[in-house]
Structure 1
C-alpha cells in the first residue's frame, strides 16, 4: 500500500497497461525563495500543481488529458525545458534599442525598407523529412501544471485519495496520445528519420549551400556599403601609397601597412630618395641590359664549351714548350 504522504507529496499511481504502472508525486506549489525567483519564472500561487517523477516520454497533451476532469489546464511546463530569464534577456538584448529600451521604430523601418529594396530574399532551406517524435527527457524530472481555477488543484489532489480508508488509491489510466509513437515504435521512427532518402538529403544540402552563398554575398555587400573605398578603385593611404590587397577588391591586407608607391607619388616626390624619376628609370634599363643571357640557346652552350677546351689545350702546349726550353738551356757547372 502506498504511503498517504511522502515529504509533503501525495503519490498518484498511473497505469500504462494492466501489467505496468508508474507513480507520480504531486503537491501544491509552494513559493520559492527570493534567490530562486530572481533566476527563474514565478509560478502563480494557489493554482499551480508541482509534479515529481514525471515519465521521461510524457507530453504536454497527455498531462492535460490526465487532469482534464479536474479543470482547464492553462500551461504545462517541464522544468528541464525551462529557459532562464537571464539567458532570454541576453538573447533579446542584442537588438538595437531606443530610449525606452525597445528597438526604435525608425531603425526598424529603415532595416525593413533596405531589405525590401536592396537585398534579395534568402532562399528557403528544404527540411529533412522528420516525423513528429516524442522528446525524451531524463528519468524522474519535474513539471509544473498551471490551472485556470485554483479549485482545480484541490480536485487534482483528490485523484490520489483512496476510495476507502486503508486502501491504496486506484491507478488512473495514462492517456497515451496518438500524435507521436510510443515505446518501440518511437525508436523505429527515430531510426528511419536518421536515414532519410538520398533525394531528400541532396535537396536539403543544395538549398543549405544556396542559403550560405546568399548570406556570404550579403556580408560582402554590407562591407562595401560601410567602406569608403569602391570596387575597381585604387586604395591609397594618407602618405600616397597604394595598399596591396588580397582576396578580391577588399582583402585582409587593407590597412596593414604594406604599400607600393604609385606613379603619382613618384612624380610628386622625385622617385626614390636622393634621385628623380628619370634617374630611377635609367637605372632600371641599365640593370635590364646587364642581365641579358649570353648562352641562351643550346648551340651557344656547346660552342662555349668547345672554345674553353681549345683554349685549355693551347695553353697546355705553350707550357710544355716553355718547360722543354728551360731543360735545354741548362749547363753543367760543377764549380
Structure 2
C-alpha cells in the first residue's frame, strides 16, 4: 500500500508528460468517473500541404476511445481556443474522412475501435495551450449526466437498436431518389452518345451506337428482336460447326486406322508370298 500511494502522489504532482514527441493528456468521461484514459497529442506536421488540416493550426491526436465522437472532442478542446473543424479517422490520413450519403446502403464500414483525430483551431496559440495542459488535470469528455447519457451502457445499446430499425418511408424515399438520379444519368449518357455519333475524336475515330439507317433514331423493339434472333442463330451455327468438325476429325482418325491395318495385312501377305517364292513384283 505504501508503494501505491507514493506512486499516486507522484502522478498527481506531474504537470507535463511526453512520450516520443507526444504530450500525454488524461481524459475522463464525466466528473464522477474514477478511471482516466490517456490520449496523445502533438502539432500536425506533414511534408505535403493539406488544405483541410493546416500545419500551424491543426492538432493531431492518438488513442481516441470508441465512445468519443466529434462533438466530445470539440467540447473538450474548445477550452483552449475556437475549434473550426474536427476529423476522426481509423488511421492517419490526409483530407477529410469519407462519409456515406446513404443511410441504408453504406459503402464504408464504420470503424468501432480506437481512432485518431485532427482538431483544427482558428489560431495557432491554441495548440500550445493544449500541449501545456497539466497531466494532473484531466479533460472531461461529456458534460451530460452519466445516469441520463445514451452513449454508454444500456442507453447506448438501446440507441443503436433504434438507429438500426428501418424506416420504410425514408428507405422508399432514398430508393426513389437513387433511381431518379440513375435514370437521369442514363439519359445523359444516351444523349451524349447521340451527340458524339458521326463526330471523329482527336485520333480520328468515330463513335458508332445502336441505331438504324436513319441516324439519331433508335432501334425499335422489333429490330432489337431481329438482331437478338440473328445473334442466337450465329451462336447455334457455330456450335453445330464445331460439332461437325469434331465428327470430321473422328472420321479421319478412323480412316487412318483402317489404312494402317490394311498396310500391315499387305506386309504380311507379301512376306508369305516371298516365302513361297511366288512374289513377282515385275
- The TM-score with structure 2 as length reference comes to 0.49
Q: Which has the larger radius of gyration?
A: 1
TM-score of the pair, normalised by structure 1: 0.43
